[in-house]
Structure 1
Amino acid sequence: MASSSSVLLSKVVAKVAIVVVGLSIITCGETLESATWCVSRSEASDVALQTAMDYACGAGADCTPIQSSGLCFLPNTVQAHASYAFNSFYQRKAQAPGACDFSGTATVARTDPSYGSCDYPSSLSTAGGSPTTPTTTPTVNAPPTPGGATTPLYGTGGLTPGFGPVIPDGNNSSKASPGRLVTAIFVPVSLFLVLSFIC
């Protein structure tokens, strides 16, 4: 009797191992809860980054750490400051689809961009956000009057409508799309059922 229960146990263990291997293959070795950050694209121009950063800071990102007395002020570059602002916005929007685009000036990274004492949040809770949707929309500066000068919010740019997150269209190829979810569930379950009938 002990022999048949150990055979049954080994079959169950083998089936579970096959399902785990199947899930690993389908997700390409990525963990289901891997952290992501939103950073600026290296090829983006400083003008485009500045405009997008001003939008992010005005629309809910915590840009205090990139101010002159902040822990993330250095290096004092538009690229570095934009990365921090984009990530803060992205995390405070709970990593929503389209929250890391900024008219093509940002991208999602799987490598933590934190350095020294500058810590990039990796989730809504570490970004100081809350799961509630804000009830106010950011104000946009009026266009400058001819001959007048305006002072940008965060450097040498200004708020420009249209530099916010892109709303995804019907062609969703994100890792959270229903097609990937069906594949990630259907294939291992099918494999498990086939092996159940064979063994």
Structure 2
Amino acid sequence: MEVPVLKLVLFFLSLLISSFSVAQGTSWCVARSDASNQALQTALDYACAAGADCSPIQSSGLCFLPNTIQAHASYAFNSYYQRKAMAPGACEFAGTATVAKTDPSYGSCMYPSSQSTAGGMPVPTPPATVTNNPNVPMTPLTTTPINGGGSTGLNNPGLTPPVPTTDESKASLDSIVATSSMSVMLLLVLSFILHPMWIS
């Protein structure tokens, strides 16, 4: 009678591990299809200046084609998002980006899917060095302490990712679901393991 219980415990344990893996799945940050080209260009300039690896979307890069603002912005947004370890708020770009669960890679253009494949956390360069679109005015990158000091900085309502006061992102919801599912599955496994002890 212990063999079926052991099989059941192993089944639930494998189910627990697989559900945790799926809930902690990979996500990508891509440009919203309803964003205007001007807003996407401004956000693309910001992403490239703030640490995204934009070399693959240059004319000699593997992700240059299709040569559209939508495609280039998606690659840059995702590079920034992955380099920031998919942190809440790292896929905002003033409302021009969204988190996707399907891999946007195509042909030889591979979108990074983690911080390690995106090249880690680079040191940001000043936006003045970005010249993707000379028609969009650029302001220098300034930061102030989180606890105040003016209207610029980490809580600037512009393109700077906000410091979240509450975490309502999909990634956070997935984490809560994964943690809850994991807890329930763990309780089920423990109940099956301890069940023979309660009976005797």
Equivalent residue number for residue 114 of structure 2: 123
Query: Secondary structure, in 3 states, of the residue corresponding to 1:121?
Result: coil
Counterpart position of 1:65: 56
Deviations 1:99-121 (A, max 9, x none): 11112111111211111222211
Unaligned runs of 5+ in 2: 140-155
Following superposition, the deviation at residue 196 of structure 1 comes to: 3.5
More helix by share: 2
The two structures have a TM-score, normalised by structure 1, of 0.74
Alignment of 1:46-65 (within 5 A): 46-65=37-56
1:23 Cα shift? Answer: 6.2
From 136, 147, 168, the equivalent of 1:157 is 136
Task: Find the counterpart in structure 2 of residue 38 from structure 1.
Answer: 29
Shift of the alpha carbon at 1:182?
Answer: 4.2
Q: Which residue among 120, 126, 133 is the counterpart of 1:139?
A: 126
Deviations 1:95-147 (A, max 9, x none): 222111112111111211111222211122221225xx74xx54344xxxxxx
Match of 2:150 in 1: none
Partner of residue 170 from structure 1, selected from 166, 176, 185: 166
Within the alignment, does 1:9 sit opposite 2:6 as a pair? Answer: no
RMSD of Structure 2 on Structure 1 (CA): 2.8
Moved over 6 A (4+): none
- Alpha-carbon offset, residue 54 of structure 1: 0.5
From 182, 187, 195, the equivalent of 2:192 is 195
What's the offset of the Cα at 1:184? 2.8
The structural deviation recorded for 1:62 is 1.0
Contact 2:48 2:130 in 1 (8 A): no
Aligned: 1:103 with 2:97: no
Change (3 A) 1:80 1:175: closer
Q: Is the 8 A contact 1:54 1:158 kept in 2?
A: no
Structure number, greater radius of gyration: 1
| Aligned twin of 1:4 | none
Deviation, 1:18, is 2.7
